[in-house]
Amino acid sequence: MLIDMGRAEHQRRHNNFSLKCIKDKWIPITVTVVITALVATIIWLAAKMSRCPSYVTAACPDGWVGYQGKCYYFSGSEGSWSASQNNCSSLGASLAVIDSKQDLEFMLRYKEPPLYWIGLRRDSPGQPWKWTNGTEFNKWFQIGGDGSCAYLNNPGVSCSQCYSERRFICSQPDVYARGNPNAAGEDSTQKLT
């Protein structure tokens, strides 16, 4: 019986020692597993966030300039107002419609010294001005001259005979604005057409 008690005592000490070893090793093992999991998660998230899309689409076509949800093309060639509108149509655009004072200031600032046709015309002097999109001009800026087709010049907007040769500005919504009518950067309180 003494031998059994000695064996039992020995077994108890061995179990206590084994449990103590396991407890002593359990904390570092747990910490190592947790740290490894965190590092793996951080690496996975970093790799996921740094991936570039397989393709990148510009908001405006090459050679066009983007401003407030629109793309503008400032031509290097000249033509009559109608030929200029046809050129813009072949590019999927129209002669530029000026929706706001900011649009007008942008075009006046961006254009070079030459004169540029815009998408505003009237059938004859004394008739209402209309934009290429069919809306009537509400006279929020002055148009100098007595012609039927409007163009940008250095101080602002003038008009002349539509057969005159000028450069032209085309405009179209950028790719983001085409998919979202409210993405054109327009503020309804600033809309002036």
The H or E element that residue 165 is part of is: none
Q: Are 71 and 44 in the same domain? A: no
Please check whether residues 21 and 79 belong to one and the same domain: no
Model pTM score: 0.63
Same domain, 71 and 24: no
42 and 77 part of one domain:
no
For residue 56, the model assigns a pLDDT of 42
DSSP letters, 143-163, are EESS-SEEEE-SSSEEEE-TT
Range(s) of the domain holding residue 12: 1-51
How many independent structural domains does the chain possess?
2
SS3 category, 108: helix
Predicted pLDDT of residue 187:
34
Q: What is the pLDDT along the chain (193 residues), one digit of tens a residue?
A: 545 555 655 555 555 555 555 556 666 777 777 788 888 888 777 766 655 444 445 588 899 999 988 999 999 999 999 999 999 999 999 999 998 889 988 998 888 778 999 999 999 888 899 999 999 998 888 999 889 999 998 888 999 999 999 999 999 988 765 555 444 443 332 333 3
- Do 73 and 44 share a structural domain? no
> Do 94 and 176 fall into the same domain?
yes
